[in-house]
Amino acid sequence: MKSRVLTSVAIVACALLLVICSEYIVFPIALALLAVIAVFEILRVIGVHKKLLLAVPAYILAIAFPISAYFVKSEGVITFLLILAAIVYVYLMWLMGVSIFSKGSIPFSTIAEVFASALYVVVSFTSMSLLRYIDKTVGVFCVVLVFVICWVCDVSAFAVGSLMGKHKLIPEVSPKKTVEGAIGGVVFSALLCLVYGLVIQLLFKQVQPNYLYLFIFGLVLSVVSQLGDLVASLIKREYGIKDYGSIFPGHGGIMDRFDSVLAVSTILLILSIVLPPFVAK
C-alpha cells in the first residue's frame, strides 16, 4: 500500500509538471515516450513484441504522431488529420503484407489485433497532443479536463460502489464494478466539470468556459472513461494477465494507468473541435 501511495503521488507530480511545461516540445516528447511504452506493453500481451516487422512500425508511429502534432496550426488540422489517415492506411497495408509473406506463421487475426491495439494507443496520445496545440491559448485546460474526468469518474465510481453498490455491472469483465458505482461516476464527473469550469474562469480571466458543453462532456466522457477501463480489463482477462507492465510499482504499466485516458482523449478532441468547452476572450 505504501509503494502504491508513493507512486500515485509521483504520477500526479509528474503529470502536473508536464502540464505546466506543455507549452514546450517536452510535452509531446513525453507523450511519445508514453505511447511507445504502451504499444510495447500491448504488443507483448499479444505476443508479437519480438516480431520486428510488426513492432518497429508501431513504435515509429508512436513517436512521430504525438510529436508532429506540436507543429500543427489551427488552420492546418484537417490537412494534418488527412495525412495521418493516409499513413495509417499504409501501415495497415504493411501489416497485411507481412501476414501474407509470413506464409501462415502470422495469421490475419494477429494482424487485426496489432493494428487495432497499436492505433488505439497511438491515436489517443496524439489526440492529447492535438488538444494542447490546436488552440494554444485554451488547449492546456482541455488536456487537464481529460484527467479531471478520468480521475473523478474513477474515484467517485469506486466510492459510490463501495458504499451503495448492490448490482454488478459486468462481472465477467470486471467483478468489482457495480451499476451504482457507474452511475455515481457519471453524476460526479458532470458536476465536477462545472466546478472545474468555474475554477478556470476565476483564475484565468482571459478564458470563458461554456458550462453547458462542460456538463455534457462530463456525462458523455465519464461513460467513455468507464468503457476504456472495461476494455483494458477485457483484454487482460482474455490473455490471463493481472497487469500490462510493472513500470509503476503497485499500479502496473502505462496501459493500466492510462486505460481511461486513452479512451477519453480522442473523443474529447472530436467534441472540442465541434463544441469548444473553453474560448479565449
What phi and psi, each to the nearest 5 degrees, are found at residue 175? -60, -25
Identify whether the C-beta of residue 168 lies closer than 8 Å to the C-beta of residue 175: yes
Q: What is the pLDDT of residue 250?
A: 66
What residues form DSSP beta bridges with 279? 208
**DSSP code for 247:** S
Per-residue pLDDT of 63-96, as tens digits, reads 999 999 999 887 788 899 999 999 999 999 999 9
User: Between helices 139-164 and 259-274, what is the axis angle to 10°?
Assistant: 130
If the chain, 281 residues long, is cut into consecutive pieces of 10 residues, what is the mean pLDDT of each piece? 62 76 89 95 93 95 95 85 94 95 89 94 95 90 93 91 86 86 94 96 93 96 93 88 79 85 94 92 78
Q: How many angstroms separate the CA atoms of 70 and 64, rounded?
A: 10
Reported pTM: 0.91
Q: What is the pLDDT of residue 111?
A: 94
Q: What is the pLDDT of residue 38?
A: 95
Long-range Cβ contact pairs of 269-272 (< 8 A, separation 24 or more): 269/127, 269/130, 269/131, 271/213, 271/217, 271/220, 271/221, 272/131, 272/134, 272/142
Q: How many angstroms separate the CA atoms of 40 and 30, rounded?
A: 15
Q: Where are the alpha helices (DSSP H) in 21-138?
A: 26-46, 52-68, 77-101, 108-133
Q: What is the pLDDT of residue 89?
A: 96
